Structure 1
Amino acid sequence: MQLDAKSSFSVNSLEFNKISVGTEYKRNCSFIGGSGRRGRLGADIIYETDALADLLAYSNCLKHFLGLGKILWQILPITMMTMYCIENYKEKMDAYHIALSSQVDCIEIDVSRSSDGVLFALHDRDLQRILGNSSSKVGYLSMKEIADLGRSHQHSLKFHEVNVPTIEDALKLVSGSVRQVILDAKVGPPLYEKGLAKDILSVVERTKCSNCLVWAKSDSLARDVIKLSSDTMVGYIVMKDPSTGSRMRLLRMRGAGVVGVYHPLIDEKLVKILHGRNKKVYAWTVDEEESMQKMLSERVDAVVTSNPALLQRSRRSLDLAAQVDTRSGDVRKDVDTLVEQMRIDREISEKGMAELRTMLANLAAHIAGNCTDRASGSQEHGVESHTHRGNTGQGHGYNMPSKCSTVEFPRFNGEDLIGWIFRCEQFFEVDETPFDSKVRLVAVHLEGKALQWHQVYMKSRLTRDVPLWKEYVRALHNRFGTLLYEDPMAELMNLKQTGTIREYLDRFDELLNNVELSENYAVSCYLAGLKNEIAIQVRMFKPKTLQEAVGLSKLQEQAIHLANLKPYPKSTPEN
């Protein structure tokens, strides 16, 4: 908000013209954000603040002369945290106390020297606003003239008569309460720099200020400080050269630990160069959100701004984005781990299948060899021979596998009909059992109630001929099966995981064995029954086979178990 008063008025011969309250006073004094304000990206926040003295001092004048006191005091609380630069002693000391109570890390103090060599916490612009002209400089006035001016100004604004603060006063107040004090040495009239470095260091030594940083736009002044004191931190400014428009030399001063750089000139290369020379980078003055985000991402050490609230929001946004990136990276890592584990499982499975095929082939060859050997000497070993009669009427000899094979034929007592039929058919395939020998082979391996049923069944047949295998299987289902009164498909569709993947898979395989489903439908049924937190992650990989779906679900179950053991740490909210 900008508030302009067009009126002019005089108080004790001090002329005030076009008093302005608002953003044009955002200058002179800077503050680095408090210890709780340092972001993940590492940059301190320097607050370039409004002129608090102007608002405090002008408020009474505006109240009496312009009738704007109420409006002004409504504005003041809103902008209080960005108004620390002051014009006279009472307001300046009040502003320092405000800054210290806000737990700032750093306070910047303007340093100007009077004509008789006294250092004041005063800027030429402060003096110019008091006197109402643009040519006045602190260096033209003596200590007494500045003090008289301060008392006159205080009296005119109905404050107590006090002196304009010296640098020594300011350092005694703030140096022990902040991490760093920046002394911004100002260039004054001719010969103003002569001996200024020595005077500043003398005050620093007297006040025992061990955390001072001295910087200035004057390179010669900065070099003088470096020559006189190796313990005091020094900084210099990099900006565009007014005469050429090009950037000033970046590495032009040895011994300086801080470089204040005009923010449009900052890029990744510049920061890398300065950090490589162990120099900190302070970006100034950054008030646009886009520029703030750029500076934070460039990893500068401090950001000078007149809009700290916007900078705080920008930093929080980048912190949140960094957290999201970290979490996304963890998720990608977990996914990569799952994919790699799935690949390993697939390789193991393929290797196992290859070994199984080889084993079955060797087994078939071994069985065939044994049968051939047994057939030639069947009379000597008492092996019963059977005659195979096909549809053509021609036949060939067949030896019962219970005598010629090392594989034991499965027995049946009336329990687990489906599993037993499956094992029989696998045996028939490996042994190449003739069609009309299957039922006879089965009959000699029946036990208990299954054998009793077989005897009754054979007597009940009109022809008393041995039935074909398919007809015999239907009769077995009628007697021992459960599919006639159960619906395995409905049960499969309604099956849901309530325990572990292993428990769910056992029941799923049992039901799947009782129905005929394509691979795609089997995968869909399997995924539909999984717990939601497992099914969602597995569907992301779009498994094509039931084997892939099972492997992925086991990996996801393991990942959930590990996550529950080691939860992500909660981030501490910022103050």
Structure 2
Amino acid sequence: MSKKLLIGAGLALSLLFTPFNQAFAEKPTVGERKQVENVAHRGAAGYAPENTIAAYDLAVDMKVDYIEIDVQRSKDGELVSIHDTTVDDGTGKVGDLTLEQLRSLDAGSWKGEQFTGEQIPTFEEILDRYHGKVGILIELKAPEYYPGIEQQVADLIKERNLDKPQNKKIIIQSFNFESMKKMNQLLPQVQIGVLTSNRAHTTMDALKEFSTYADWFNPSYGIVTKELVNQVHSNGMKIGSWTVRNQEAADFLFEMKVDAIISDYPDYVDPRN
């Protein structure tokens, strides 16, 4: 039996939204497309430096359903939001640097001078700034590098009462399936997702196994088919696909009837932005 059936987890389906040709109408009207969960990949990373407060704030302003963040751990044990496991063009590992050293880095100027001085945010800072305002999709990035990170994440979520059934706007995901099994044990009422770009993980046997601890199956859009979407749904999970960086990819995923689209450009998913 799937985790969803066991604990009743999962997000409610959203309402319909405007078609593209009425995208900028003053009042949204019901269109032909069903709205999916609009997830801002590392914030609105197409328009602002990824995994920064600037990108997350912009995503919130664009009225997304979720911001997606990457979580790793500093040398002195602080959780931070950063995608790559190295900094300074690959010369230093995130886990070998203290929070102070990481915070001293300029995380924004590469995207534009207006973002100069943007810092790498902490996980706690993100939770405190955004919970209750927008959903948070938390990716544990290379958790195998950070033993015990699952417990650390769980503790911070519990401290804020975000592990309760009524708070369904937290999802935790990873490419590391064993890590997600641990998260499901630590936070059984929080939605869990598995990430993959491997077609070997799309078999019925694999999906059935994922459904024992995961609520979301989140593949790269290159392996999404209508058959896969139906199989994921038949196993009691939802499907969110990544990473959309053009309108064609968004249109394809709408056609596939996925439940969430993870994009650097939230306006490709909801053109009212």
Post-superposition CA distance 1:437-459 (Å, at most 9, x none): xxxxxxxxxxxxxxxxxxxxxxx
**Alignment partner for residue 181 of structure 2, among 211, 223, 227?**
223
Aligned to 2:123: 167
Aligned to 1:269: 227
Unpaired runs of 5+ in structure 2? 1-13, 19-30
Q: How does 1:300-315 map to 2 (within 5 A)?
A: 300-312=258-270
Report how far residue 293 of structure 1 moved.
Answer: 3.3
> What letter corresponds to residue 207 of structure 2 in structure 1?
L
Report how far residue 212 of structure 1 moved.
Answer: 1.3
* Inter-partner Cα distance in structure 1 for 2:145 and 2:42: 27
* Inter-partner Cα distance in structure 2 for 1:294 and 1:86: 24
SS at match of 1:198: helix
Report how far residue 160 of structure 1 moved.
Answer: 10
Contact 1:45 1:304 in 2 (8 A): yes
Report how far residue 259 of structure 1 moved.
Answer: 0.8
**Alignment partner for residue 197 of structure 1, among 150, 168, 172?**
150
CA RMSD of aligned residues (A): 3.5
Post-superposition CA distance 1:33-59 (Å, at most 9, x none): x9885873342333436886xxxxxxx
Aligned to 1:235: 193
Q: How does 1:456-467 map to 2 (within 5 A)?
A: none
* Inter-partner Cα distance in structure 2 for 1:206 and 1:231: 15
**Alignment partner for residue 47 of structure 2, among 66, 83, 86?**
83
**Bigger RCO of structures 1 and 2 (CA < 8 A, at least 6 apart):** 2
* Inter-partner Cα distance in structure 2 for 1:139 and 1:124: 11
* Inter-partner Cα distance in structure 2 for 1:280 and 1:36: 18
Contact 1:283 1:304 in 2 (8 A): yes
* Inter-partner Cα distance in structure 1 for 2:161 and 2:201: 37
Report how far residue 296 of structure 1 moved.
Answer: 1.5
Aligned to 1:181: 136
Q: Are 2:100 and 1:140 equivalent residues in the alignment?
A: no
Q: How does 1:110-509 map to 2 (within 5 A)?
A: 110-124=70-84, 128=87, 131=88, 133-149=89-105, 164-178=120-134, 180-187=135-142, 192-209=145-162, 210=167, 211-240=169-198, 246-247=200-201, 249-253=206-210, 254-287=212-245, 289-312=247-270
Is the alpha carbon distance of 1:264 and 1:100 closer, same or farther for their aligned partners in structure 2, counting shifts above 3 Å? closer
Aligned to 1:476: none
> What letter corresponds to residue 198 of structure 1 in structure 2?
Q
SS at match of 2:229: helix
* Inter-partner Cα distance in structure 1 for 2:265 and 2:133: 24
Post-superposition CA distance 1:43-78 (Å, at most 9, x none): 2333436886xxxxxxxxxxxxxxxxxxxxxxxxxx
* Inter-partner Cα distance in structure 1 for 2:69 and 2:43: 14
Contact 2:40 2:59 in 1 (8 A): no
* Inter-partner Cα distance in structure 1 for 2:34 and 2:191: 24
> What letter corresponds to residue 113 of structure 1 in structure 2?
R
Report how far residue 110 of structure 1 moved.
Answer: 1.3
Contact 2:43 2:69 in 1 (8 A): no
Unpaired runs of 5+ in structure 1? 1-33, 53-81, 314-573
Aligned to 1:543: none
SS at match of 1:300: coil
Structure holding more helix per residue: 1
SS at match of 1:124: coil
* Inter-partner Cα distance in structure 2 for 1:160 and 1:312: 29
Contact 2:17 2:34 in 1 (8 A): no
* Inter-partner Cα distance in structure 2 for 1:113 and 1:194: 10
Contact 1:204 1:212 in 2 (8 A): no
The structure with more radius of gyration: 1
* Inter-partner Cα distance in structure 1 for 2:123 and 2:190: 16
SS at match of 1:182: strand
Post-superposition CA distance 1:511-550 (Å, at most 9, x none): xxxxxxxxxxxxxxxxxxxxxxxxxxxxxxxxxxxxxxxx
Q: Are 2:58 and 1:104 equivalent residues in the alignment?
A: no
Sequence identity (%): 22
Report how far residue 224 of structure 1 moved.
Answer: 0.7
SS at match of 1:282: strand
Report how far residue 192 of structure 1 moved.
Answer: 2.2
> What letter corresponds to residue 114 of structure 1 in structure 2?
S
* Inter-partner Cα distance in structure 2 for 1:202 and 1:285: 29
Report how far residue 309 of structure 1 moved.
Answer: 4.4
Contact 1:281 1:302 in 2 (8 A): yes
Aligned to 2:23: none
Contact 1:114 1:139 in 2 (8 A): yes
* Inter-partner Cα distance in structure 1 for 2:142 and 2:58: 28
**Alignment partner for residue 95 of structure 1, among 51, 55, 71?**
55
* Inter-partner Cα distance in structure 1 for 2:170 and 2:235: 21
Aligned to 2:37: 44
> What letter corresponds to residue 83 of structure 1 in structure 2?
Y
* Inter-partner Cα distance in structure 2 for 1:220 and 1:292: 30
Q: How does 1:47-86 map to 2 (within 5 A)?
A: 47-48=40-41, 82-86=46-50
SS at match of 1:104: coil
> What letter corresponds to residue 250 of structure 1 in structure 2?
L
Is the alpha carbon distance of 1:247 and 1:214 closer, same or farther for their aligned partners in structure 2, counting shifts above 3 Å? closer
* Inter-partner Cα distance in structure 1 for 2:39 and 2:218: 12
